[in-house]
Amino acid sequence: MVTMVDLVGSAVFYSAGLTTSGVSLEINISYVDVAYIDEEIEFDAKILKAGNTIGVSTVEVRKKKTGKIVAQARHAKYIAFPSKL
């Protein structure tokens, strides 16, 4: 699940128009329920902050059938643009 949080938490920056998703600084996940192998889950990501160098997104993982939360994550990224020197 951490890999998917990393991917979805990074993709949300692209969807906001940034040209880079940066490098992960920290991923914090709180698991609050279980999801079984044959169970479909949904990921919903939002940007909390997109500053000059640091971006923070949240990712919520829910069971598709019931909408119950499986996990909540916060993903911090270094998103500074490369220098044009």
Question: Is residue 83 assigned to a domain?
Answer: no
Two tokens, residue 43: 């990921």
Question: Is residue 85 assigned to a domain?
Answer: no
Domains: count for the chain? 1
Q: First CA to last CA across the chain, in angstroms?
A: 38
- DSSP symbol at 33: S
What confidence tens digit (pLDDT) does each residue in 28-56 have?
999 999 999 999 999 999 999 988 889 99
Query: What CATH number corresponds to the domain at position 39?
Result: 3.10.129.10
Q: In what order do the strands lie in the sheet with 54-63?
A: 23-31, 69-78, 54-63, 41-50
Q: What is the pTM of this model?
A: 0.85
Owning domain of residue 57: 2-78
What confidence tens digit (pLDDT) does each residue in 9-28 have?
999 988 888 877 778 999 99
